[in-house]
Structure 1
Amino acid sequence: MVLVNNKEASISKEICNFTTESIILRDNTMRLHELLHQLPRYKREDISKITFDNGICFFFEEGETYNGYDRVVRVGAHIVNNKLKQRLRDHYKPNQEGSVFRKSIGKAFLRYDQYKFEEMLDIELSRGKLPQGIKKYEKEKNIEQRITKYLNNKFSFVCVKIADKKMRLRFEEGIIALLHNTEDFKPSSQWFGRYSPNEEIRNSGLWLRDGLKYMPLTAVEVQKLEILIWESI
């Protein structure tokens, strides 16, 4: 009987620890979004207005929310010092090879096109028509232009000044892991990332594949981030 009680107590403790951890993750994710919404919001044409050259950027996508705040859908940092603005501009250049972010969106467009192609084919063939609409659709689509247009129309971003490279990279991975591990941090049913062929992107609600399994940002690091955010302002 003692063994049974000890086993039950152990299970109860594990459940309690898991619940506590989940609450902490959610609280930190909420605080992160609260803090980020204090920062100036930028679009592509505003990159030159950023007053520092080293830091982390957070992207928001139209239609995506988290508990009343615009939801972070991508976190990015730069390895080479003084390249924050250059990395941001790279995302908007018509060259998928220069930006993993662009490439991820492009792959989602291709998968979306596959569904649309099959749907159009079914409709046209069911009406006894030759697939002329499909030929026209295939001719007109231009992935690079569509990626750029989507980025311009759907995304905005904020930046946090972090001069130290080691700190910058740790915050990047910690924030990504924090968001990924927060139970209620989910994409909407209409999120375009659901068309991604990458399971990590579809499931995480982030336009990211790396950093999901690192150690989440701690409460102490969230406090440090708060100081960095006010310094950025």
Structure 2
Amino acid sequence: MDNCKEIHKIVNNMKRFYFPFNLEEIPKNGIYILFEKGEKAHNDLDRIVRVGTHTGENQLRPRISQHFIKENKDRSIFRKNIGRALLNKDNNDYLEVWDKKLVKKVDREKYGHLVDKNYQEKIEKKVTEYMRANFSFVVFEVDKKEDRLLYESRLISEVSNCKECRATENWLGRFSPKKKVVESGMWLVNELYKDNFTDEEFQEFKKYLL
């Protein structure tokens, strides 16, 4: 069995989180794997559409919260990518404003006047509604930062390199203005198409799942 198929088989049988979920049930350090309604791979298993982690200590729960609970696209590139696809699908000119990152003061001073706060809040709500209705995820604990980053990269590569993991025709990501999202079938632009697990790494990695 190839690695990607085995990974899908294992994670499809893990405890699944759907919104609303209890953040206290999520480990403080680890990796999350996301699935999206209607997306299948490897003989009708739910297809992995995103893998993510965190760099700071004890930040997995806040990371999940930034995606599903806190409505701020500048704190979640995942939310930003969903918004991009929704806006692009509607040929909405506000996409240009949505793309701006307004975390730094210098950027707020430069682009802040472009933002229609009420309209942007409506888009954030639409992103939230889509995410809560369409995504589910599994998590597993990984305490060491270097292990989290390694396994995140390997997982993303395994899925993006897999010829069986292809997006459906109706996948929202096909409307993304980001070419890498469209082509990979994943809500990601980083760590795609890199190195898969070595045999030794894969055996060690599976211990975190089983």
TM-score tier, shorter chain, comes to 0.7 to 0.9
Deviation of the 1:38 alpha carbon: 2.4
Instruction: Specify the code of the residue in structure 1 equivalent to 2:72.
Output: N
Give percent identity, aligned residues only: 33
Which residue of structure 2 lines up, in the alignment, with residue 84 of structure 1? 60
The normalised TM-score by structure 2 is 0.82
Give the secondary structure class of the aligned counterpart of 2:40: strand
Instruction: Specify the code of the residue in structure 2 equivalent to 1:165.
Output: K
Which residue of structure 2 lines up, in the alignment, with residue 125 of structure 1? none
Change (3 A) 1:194 1:32: same
Deviation of the 1:97 alpha carbon: 0.4
Provide the rounded CA distance (Å) in 2 between the counterparts of 1:220 and 1:44.
Answer: 35
Change (3 A) 1:76 1:47: farther
Q: Deviations over 1:82-133 (max 9, x none)?
A: 1101100000221100100000000001101118xxxxxxxxxxxxxxxxxx
The one of 82, 85, 103 equivalent to 1:105 is 82
Please tell me the root mean square deviation across aligned C-alpha atoms, in Å. 1.9
Question: How many matched pairs?
Answer: 182
Which residue of structure 2 lines up, in the alignment, with residue 72 of structure 1? 48
The one of 150, 175, 190 equivalent to 2:155 is 175
Question: Is 2:188 aligned against 1:212?
Answer: no
Which residue of structure 1 lines up, in the alignment, with residue 135 of structure 2? 155
Deviation of the 1:49 alpha carbon: 4.1
Give the secondary structure class of the aligned counterpart of 2:173: helix
Structure 2 portions without partners, runs of 5+: 93-118
The normalised TM-score by structure 1 is 0.74
Greater Rg by CA: 1
Q: Deviations over 1:12-45 (max 9, x none)?
A: xxxxxxxxxxxx7xx1100000111221100232
Instruction: Specify the code of the residue in structure 2 equivalent to 1:109.
Output: L
Deviation of the 1:216 alpha carbon: 1.5
Q: Does the Cα contact within 8 Å between 1:47 and 1:88 map onto a contact in 2? A: no
Q: Does the Cα contact within 8 Å between 2:26 and 2:139 map onto a contact in 1? A: no
Provide the rounded CA distance (Å) in 1 between the counterparts of 2:88 and 2:27.
Answer: 37
Which residue of structure 2 lines up, in the alignment, with residue 4 of structure 1? none
Structure 1 portions without partners, runs of 5+: 1-23, 116-138
